[in-house]
Amino acid sequence: MDPEEIKKIVKEKYSQIAKQSKENGQTSCCDTTECCSETDYAVISDDYSNLQGYQPEADLNLGCGMPTEFAKINPGDTVVDLGSGAGNDCFVARSLTGDKGKVIGIDMTEEMVEKAIMNAGKLNYKNMEFMLGEIEDLPLSNGIADVVISNCVLNLVPDKVKAFAEVYRILRKGGHFCVSDVVLKGRLPENLQKDAEMYAGCVSGALQMEEYLSVIRINGFSNVQIKKQKQIQIPDEVLLKYTFRQELSEFMESGTGIFNITVYGDRL
């Protein structure tokens, strides 16, 4: 697919999510359409409810991990969250960096940025900023961040090499990133891989795990580590919407899998 077409699809889906209520949206990646209305996002997302800084209004259950868990955020740090949505990870990051730090959220969807600004405004936080932007061309200065985080977003970016190049650019020397994302081990059936609607559901846009790690390393990061990984179990009835039963059987027996991973890397 054309990169701009991919961006348009992803933007439209997440715009719809931003407009719906959490009660309607928390169990699927896009309940307002037919694209993946049976996909239970609870099998992908982690429970944030007991974390310091957690704001329920900002949690749309769209993540696939908890990058702040391994991000080593210190008081006073400037943290940038890529694909910040309604601000869920930003509020957790703010509880770690404190009043003297700063948290910047970047999202390509206007409705998500507006929702995050509204959520921060309710709490009268002065050291949080949310802005519109694309990860492949971030509206930020070189070396602005001590820490970059992201949660189930970079896999949706068409040019992942450029995305991680931008992560490197905005990090100061000695800074680091920690991102949670979706990757593959083995090859998905062709029909599933090419389906644009599932792409917006965070599966078909995923790279092979080793390719994902290679993209990070070629951008100059060191000490690259997978801090956490978990296989995603997608029900057969959902997968059968995108493939044939024989293909599905072969897929399940092949050892192929879809995984959440949380990856850490240093910028020297």
Residue by residue, pLDDT tens for the chain (268 residues) are 788 888 888 888 888 888 875 554 443 343 333 334 444 445 567 889 899 999 999 999 888 999 999 999 999 999 999 999 999 999 999 999 999 999 999 999 999 999 999 999 999 999 999 999 999 999 999 999 999 999 999 988 999 999 999 999 999 999 999 999 999 888 776 766 666 556 556 666 789 999 999 999 999 999 999 999 988 776 777 667 766 666 667 766 776 778 899 999 999 9
Q: Which CATH class, in words, describes the domain spanning 3-263?
A: alpha beta
Residue with tokens 């970047």: 106
Query: In the chain, what are the domain boundaries?
Result: 3-263
Retrieve residue 240's tokens: 């059968």
CA distance 197 to 156: 12
- Report helix angle 160-170 to 209-218, nearest 10: 40
List for the chain the helix, strand, coil content (%; round to 5): 35, 25, 40
Strand partners, 50: none
CA distance 35 to 40: 12
What does the pLDDT read at residue 195? 63
Q: Which residues contact 161 (CB under 8 A, 6 or more apart)?
A: 215, 218, 219
pTM of the predicted structure, to 2 decimals:
0.87
